[in-house]
Amino acid sequence: MKKDPNMENALEMNRRQAIKRAGLMLGAALSASTLSGVAAAQTRAAGAKGKAVNLSAKEFELVSAFSERILPRTDTPGAVDVGVPEFADAMFGGFLSESEEETFRKGLASVDAISQETYRKAFVDLGASEQDAVIQEIAKSNGQDLKSFYRKARELTIVGYFTSEEVMRNVLNYDFIPGRYDGCVPISETGNVLWAH
């Protein structure tokens, strides 16, 4: 998919449309909280914000930083804004198998090892472009464990992001009870935004 240079503007349009739509659908009482949610997302720091239950504090920070580079805050919320790290942490509470947990923890250690090797700093202490360089290296890796980790990290980030209340309600087209099916709708009527489901 080619990106158009005016994408940022288009995204801003999408976000406005999403907020407007949420307001129309949910009524004034709820749209106020929706709007404040989006506003809060814009002012929050990009680092870890929540608290880990199953992961160590250090692991949680690393998951936060890593997932935020996969889906960073732009004019729409980023992974940290919508609770991706908390979702990943919850997955360590009985949802992942023991071997999945082990592979993931080993992967996190590798992320820091690569950061140290290249920049002599932990991943969380790197700047965004350095963090991206580390991720690019991991994406190219042929190591089976590192590959499994990277895929799982992407899966948890993308699933956690797109099944979050904030993204489903305010970023995507949210239609809880559609009530009808229309087979052919011009894309312009949906703002070129995906239906949430």
Partner 1 sequence: MNIQGKGTKQNTYDAIVIGSGISGGWAAKELSEKGLRTLALERGRDVKHGEYPTAHMEPWEFEGRNRSTQARRARQHKQNRTGYTTHPASAHWFVDDIDNPYSEDKPFDWMRGYHVGGRSLLWGRQSYRYSELDFEANAEDGFGVDWPIRYKDIAPWYDYVERFAGISGTNEGLPHLPDGQFLPPMEMNCVEKHARSRVAEAFSDRIITIGRAANLTVPHNGRGNCQYRNRCIRGCPFGGYFSSNVSTLPAGYASGNLTLRPFSIVNQIIYDNEKGKATGVRIIDAETNEVIEYYAKVIFSCASAVASTFILMNSKSSRFPNGMGNDSGELGHNLMDHHFKVGATGIAEGFDDQYYKGRRPNGIYVPRFRNVSKETTQKDYVRGFGYQGRASRMNWARGIGELARFGSSLKADLIEPGPWRFGIGSWGECLPYHENRMYLNEDVRDKWGQPTVTFDCEWKENELAMRKDMKQSAVDILEAAGMRDIRAFDTVEKSAPGNCIHEMGTARMGRDPKTSVLNKWNQVHGASNVFVTDGACMTSNSCVNPSLTYMALSARAADHAVNELKKGNLS
Judged by the rule CB under 8 A, the positions of this chain that interact with partner 1 are 1, 3, 7, 11, 14, 69-72, 74, 76, 78, 87, 90-91, 94-97, 132, 135, 139, 150-151, 154-155, 158-165, 168, 171-172, 175-190, 192-195, 197
Cβ 51 to partner 1 shortest distance, Å: 17
Q: Which is nearer to partner 1, 48 or 156 (CB)?
A: 156
C-alpha angle 36-39-42 in degrees, rounded to nearest 5:
155
User: Quick one: DSSP state of residue 4?
Assistant: P
Yes or no: say if 171 and 77 are a contact pair by the CB < 8 Å rule: yes
In the complex, what is the shortest distance from the CB of residue 121 to partner 1, in angstroms, rounded to a whole number?
A: 20
Which lies closer to partner 1 via its Cβ, residue 120 or residue 192?
192
Question: Which amino acid, one-letter code, is at 43?
Answer: T
If the CB atoms of residues 91 and 120 are measured against partner 1, the closer one turns out to be 91
68: closest CA among 111, 132, 13, 120? Answer: 132
Of 125 and 176, nearer to partner 1 (C-beta) is: 176
Distances 185 to 15, 182, 188 between C-alpha atoms, Å: 20, 7, 8
Nearest approach, Cβ of 71 to partner 1 (angstroms)?
5
| 25 versus 70: smaller Cβ distance to partner 1 | 70
DSSP state of 124: G
Residues 6+ apart with CB under 8 A from 59: 52, 105, 108
Shortest reach from residue 181's CB to partner 1, in Å: 4
Q: Which residues pair with 173 in a beta bridge?
A: 195
